[in-house]
Amino acid sequence: MAGAYELEKELTETDVRHKLVVPVRWLEEMPRFEGGCHEVQFGVLDDKGFHFLLCCSIRNGDYPKPVLQAEGWLKFLNYKGLKVGDKIIFRPQVDHFRETIFQVRAQRLNSHGHWVDI
């Protein structure tokens, strides 16, 4: 986790129906893909202390196109009731006891145009 900065994204149709497509720059904060592997699992904690196991995968070739695979991602998405236009924020926060590397927050725009946690 080199730079340890927050990773933030507004959700698209693909993100809420299939898998979370993430920018390539996010790979700097993700765990390392070792031994030629194209997937890496990691844990996250939400604001209520619930643990979710996510899997980031990349393509073979010049452009990795990272995604968080459906299984863990959709569990989190459904738990939070997320929809297109909502926002997620991954904040680097290592917790060796729970084996997590991110705190994850979900937000939605309220009627006043402010992002609020959901």
Q: Show the 3-state SS of 54-86.
A: EEEECCCCCCCCCEECHHHHHHHHHHHCCCCCC
Higher pLDDT, 12 or 5: 12
- Predicted model pTM: 0.85
Q: Tens digits of per-residue pLDDT, 53-80?
A: 999 999 888 888 999 999 999 999 999 9
Q: Between vectors from CA 117 to CA 74 and to CA 66, what angle results, nearest 5°?
A: 40
Instruction: Tell me which residue has tokens 């402010």.
Output: 114
Domain coordinates in residue numbering, the chain:
7-117
What architecture (CATH level 2) is domain 7-117? Beta Barrel (2.40)
